[in-house]
Amino acid sequence: MLSRFRLPAKLRAILPASRRSHASTVDPFPGHDMADDTLDIPAWHDSPFSRILSARMMEILAIILLIMALAIAASLFSFNPHDPSFNTATGTEPTNLLGRFGATIADGLMQLLGLAGIVPVLVLLAWTWQLLRHHHLDLPLLRLVAAALFCPAAAMTIGLLQLTVPGLGIAWPTSSGLGGETGVFFAQKLLNLVSGETGSMGGILSILISLAILAVFCPLSMGLQGREWRSVGRGLSALVRLPVRALLRSRRATPEAERHVAYPSGSGGPIRHGRPAMGNAPLPSGFIMRNLSRQAERTAPAPTGTTPWSPMQQGAAPWQKPSSAQTQPPPRPDPVPVQEEDALQATQPEDEADNPYARMLAHIRHDPGRTSTVQRRHAEETHDDISGAPLDIQPQELSGPAQQPGFLKRFMAATSPATGAGSGSSGMVEETAYNAAPTMQAATDHAVGMNGAPAHEGSMQPGGASVMPPRPVPPPPGMAPGPLPGMTAPSAWLPPSIGLLNPLPDQNETGPSEEALQANAQMLEKVLDDYGVQGTITDYRAGPVVTLYELEPAPGVRSSRVIGLADDIARTLAVLSVRIATVPGRNVIGIEVPNKTRETVYFPELLLSPAWKENRSKLPLALGKDIAGEPIMADLARMPHLLVAGTTGSGKSVGINAMILSLLYRLSPEDCRLIMIDPKILELSIYDGIPHLMTPVVTEPPKAVSALKWAVQEMDRRYRLMADHGVRNISSYNDRIRHLKASGETPTRRIQTGYDPETGRPVFDEHRLPLEHLPYIVIVIDEMADLMMVAGKEIEASVLRLAQKARAAGVHVIMATQRPSVDVITGTIKANFPTRISFQVTNKYDSRTILGEQGAEQLLGRGDMLFMQGGARITRVHGPFISDEEVEAVVADLRSKGSPVYNTEVLADEQEEEEASSSGKGGGKGSDEDQDSALYEQATELVVRAQRASTSFVQRHLRIGYNRAANIIDQMEREGIISAANHVGKRDVLATKASLGLDRHDPDDED
């Protein structure tokens, strides 16, 4: 049999010479007796052949991984959202570098991971680098798992940044956002979890947690060594320095005059800081990577001393005060054509006495710096009030002259020469353009001038208009003074008259014609077909502000695909914005296109409608009109609380005024009492002194905390009263009290007072129950963000208790904020405020925060809102316009009918704290005399007997407040009973029991 195995010649050639000198045969069987010339072959993994083969295999694998990384990078670089993929049904040819396969891969990564889709490329490149250097990947299974977790962790971090950083509005081609569907999902989950535990710090803690997760999975997935990470850091820093240096050189080289370029009014698309705004044009091939890599080179340089413009900042930060130059840095002059500036600085009203409309609009503030059409589109007002909006703001100029309401036509005709409207192509059939809402601002003690100072009587405003006190408005014909129909107030109370409001103007304008609507529907179908969406417009309904077109998409067209085209459709139709949403219960998609002539909704129009007269709600609110022009009424008692959000200039303050006036026109002070919290001081202070108030308007955050704490205590007291009477809600309680008073009955309650010493049986007493009428209490908080910054935990705790339990007790909260971020509107607050209203917000992430879905960023402003009641479907409502003049007339009428009866207990806690602090600061004998002698003696005896002296020790044993215990400790130190605190805060007891006479009856010494 075969006993020897001959080595091949090639294998013998690569062996060392020392081995080749021996015999070239080897015994393949262990234990076989071999001759001296036998060769022992080394282990397989130690042989040179195995090392060469392993190196070649590593190189082949590295090449495969490099090809995969380059393929994914090329598909992402040339990503186009209009290419055919699983999410896009279109017959056009793909523009992706890798064809349909690359378009599908890029779309999947963008939809799932967003900007984190580049993470797989980085991981593959790191593995390629390791293999090319002939380094083994240790623990390959661990690397794969870490890479699979690294991708969603990066997406979650990016999603958290978009949800928590205000004003982060980078244009993105997919509706899922920068973090993709995965990032948004995990970011929302983490935010809700952390915010529920930590409150207002949830956003920051969530970002820190996500960064910690990234710090774990990134090195695990990459597998790089320490020196390689340092090399990567040096390379990234060099890449960052290069564009910064180039930007600085270009800024020094570019003349100042070249950076101030005036853009024509019809240049198409908004201009921000000398460059087209992102998100309005169709996204070309390779938009993502080119936009991110060349962003610094395309951005127009900023002047010296100012911060360069960032595409993430689409508007002013919510915590910054808006100004007339909010869309540009202050040192940069506005690119305004001279003709437009001269036209806007035209003559002022010549004779206000002869023109009632001139008197009505004498306080309109014009801003000559905000003149171009493009800048007017992005302008934001200084005050969060519709009545402060400049009259010359037009969101978009379309073909044809701008049509205005009747009273504005007469006013402009009587006060200024006619000016031509800006030309431009519209693409729609109607010939009129958007007009700004009529603005009226009364000159009151609370009116604010252009420089921020109060405008007093007779003061001059810019433009020559003299600010005069408001004149009484006579009631219009057919609108005689008197209470509203259906009023349920007591006979002694007379509600305000509708005649106090401004008369309704002549509504001569009509909506769009049938031919115009049909032509617009055909144009809309053509626009959708241009973007690869097939469908048919089946119906349309015209309203006062927008027209709803119902689109029935072709089979296979996803609704998210149509919703993502909102900005492109708005640009093509040359309108301000387009809102697209699905219609619940129907197989259609609603497309809301603004009308070229916007009708104004007036508050008296709602009060005279049959919907208001026939409304029998407990706390009715007149919100406005829907898109079909029908009045929308709501009941605050059934909500039971309302959360309102909206940016500055969106009409939030006017909407709150409409809600407050709705309550004042329907309910008497006996039926409804108000607690108003206004940290901004100027918004709700106008209502100070009306009989409905329980306390003066609260403007200080500490007092707001006390008011909310009192509301919680009042809620608990009302629950005890209702339990004693055996009823379940405030309505049944008041009915029972009314019945008992009418019948003369006296309800009683049995209370056990002790036991009979002779028989041992319990003894009961009969106590009379109070027959107290309980009014509804409505708490209006105008700015929640400011309160959360000052006293976040206390405010949130009180608001949550009220939101959870106060419905049956008749306590209801209307909470408004202009910064709807997750640190202000926490997850627990959202869960307890199912009814919400969102005015116009800056981006879709704020809309998702307040409503749970996007769409509020597409609103038109000036009272345009989305109303979600009880978590049900969202309704678009156009809020009514109320001027400051009307509010002042109603408030003056209410003040003339009686003075308010304030409840001193509402702010009692704050007053007690102020007195305690003031007495503590006085010191000396005055402070000692104010102390309770019995309590002080008890505390002194406690300290001497225990030989321990600390504030917490006295507070815990005597069950008193911390401030009171601290005062007692300070008094003991002044009297020499205890020593001063040493470096660690410990005090020594200097007095003895004998010195204080405590040793005579010391129970410890009796034994």
- What tens digit of pLDDT does each residue of 328-354 get? 444 444 444 434 434 434 433 444 344
* Binding-site annotation: residue ranges for ATP: 646-653
349 with 465: CB under 8 angstroms? yes
At 168, is the pLDDT very low, low, confident or very high (cuts 50, 70, 90)? Answer: low
The per-residue pLDDT for 621 is 94
At 169, is the pLDDT very low, low, confident or very high (cuts 50, 70, 90)? Answer: low
Which of 343-352, 742-751, 831-840 is modeled with the greatest confidence? 831-840
Residue 252, judged by CB atoms within 10 A of its CB (0-12, 13-18, 19+), counts as: exposed
Same fold yes or no, 614-725+772-899 and 933-1001 = no
Q: Which of the following CATH numbers is that of domain 933-1001: 3.40.1130.10, 3.10.20.30, 1.10.10.10, 2.160.20.10?
A: 1.10.10.10
pLDDT at 299 over 80: no
pLDDT at 914 over 80: no
pLDDT at 867 over 90: yes
Q: Where are the beta strands (DSSP E) in 603-747?
A: 620-626, 631-635, 642-645, 672-677
Q: Residue 806: enclosing H or E segment and its boundaries? A: helix 784-809
**Nearest CA-CA partner of 271 in 262, 284, 282:** 262
More confident position, 908 or 748: 748
If you write DSSP's letter for every residue of 134-175 in order, what string do you get? T---SSHHHHHHHHHHHHHHHHHHHHHHHHHSTTB----SST
pLDDT at 571 over 80: yes
Q: Which residues of 318-333 are buried (b: 16+ CB within 10 A; e: fewer)?
A: beeebebbbbbeeebe
Which of 73-77, 379-383, 403-407, 629-633 is modeled with the greatest confidence? 629-633
Cα distances (Å, whole numbers) of residue 576 to 397, 429, 568, 655, 874 = 9, 16, 11, 22, 21
More confident position, 979 or 1002: 979
Residue 130, judged by CB atoms within 10 A of its CB (0-12, 13-18, 19+), counts as: buried
The per-residue pLDDT for 170 is 62
Average pLDDT, the chain: 71
If you write DSSP's letter for every residue of 42-107 in order, what string do you get? PPGGGSHHHHHHHHHHHHHHHHHHHHHHHHHHHHHHT--TTS-SSS----SPP-STTHHHHHHHHH
* Binding-site annotation: residue ranges: 646-653
The per-residue pLDDT for 780 is 95
Segment 573-584 shows an average pLDDT of 86
At 774, is the pLDDT very low, low, confident or very high (cuts 50, 70, 90)? Answer: very high
Secondary structure (3-state) at 851:
helix
For the chain, count helices (H), then strands (E).
Answer: 34, 19
Which of 273-287, 730-744, 760-774 is modeled with the greatest confidence? 730-744
* Beta pairing, strands 672-677 & 835-838: unpaired
More confident position, 793 or 589: 589
The per-residue pLDDT for 432 is 34
Structure letter (DSSP) for residue 537: E
**Nearest CA-CA partner of 598 in 580, 579, 625:** 625
Angle, vertex CA 786, rays to CA 784 and CA 790, nearest 5: 115
Which of 231-235, 241-245, 262-266, 718-722 is modeled with the greatest confidence? 718-722
At 283, is the pLDDT very low, low, confident or very high (cuts 50, 70, 90)? Answer: very low
Segment 731-757 shows an average pLDDT of 85
CA distance 101 to 79: 11
Structure tokens at 748: 């009683």
Domain residues of the chain, as ranges? 50-232, 511-599, 614-725+772-899, 933-1001
Note every long-range contact of 962-966, with CB atoms under 8 Å and residues 24 or more positions apart, other chains counting. 963/913, 963/916, 963/917, 963/920, 964/916, 965/939, 966/920
pLDDT at 26 over 70: no
- What tens digit of pLDDT does each residue of 982-994 get? 876 788 888 887 7
- What tens digit of pLDDT does each residue of 414-454 get? 444 333 333 333 333 333 333 333 333 333 333 333 333 33
The per-residue pLDDT for 45 is 52
Give the other-Cβ count within 10 Å of 563's Cβ.
Answer: 17
Give the other-Cβ count within 10 Å of 483's Cβ.
Answer: 15
Which residues partner with 634 through β-bridges?
621
- What tens digit of pLDDT does each residue of 102-152 get? 888 888 888 888 888 888 888 888 888 878 777 777 777 887 888 888 888
Secondary structure (3-state) at 424:
coil
**Total residue count of the chain as it appears in this document:** 1007
What percent of the chain has a predicted confidence (pLDDT) above 90? 16
Segment 957-974 shows an average pLDDT of 87
pTM of the model: 0.48
CATH number of this structure's domain 511-599: 3.30.980.40
The per-residue pLDDT for 104 is 85
pLDDT at 84 over 90: no
Please, what CATH class does the domain formed by 614-725+772-899 belong to? alpha beta
The per-residue pLDDT for 199 is 66
Which residues partner with 815 through β-bridges?
643, 781
At 583, is the pLDDT very low, low, confident or very high (cuts 50, 70, 90)? Answer: confident
- For 241-250, 401-410, 684-693, 718-727, which range has the lowest pLDDT when averaged over its residues? 401-410
CA distance 234 to 214: 20
- What tens digit of pLDDT does each residue of 36-56 get? 444 444 454 556 777 787 778
- What tens digit of pLDDT does each residue of 469-515 get? 444 444 444 343 444 433 444 446 888 999 999 888 876 556 778 88
Segment 298-314 shows an average pLDDT of 39
Segment 405-416 shows an average pLDDT of 39
**Nearest CA-CA partner of 570 in 598, 593, 588, 547:** 593
pLDDT at 233 over 90: no
At 888, is the pLDDT very low, low, confident or very high (cuts 50, 70, 90)? Answer: very high
pLDDT at 265 over 90: no
- What tens digit of pLDDT does each residue of 503-553 get? 888 765 567 788 888 888 888 888 888 888 888 898 888 888 899 999 998
The per-residue pLDDT for 375 is 39
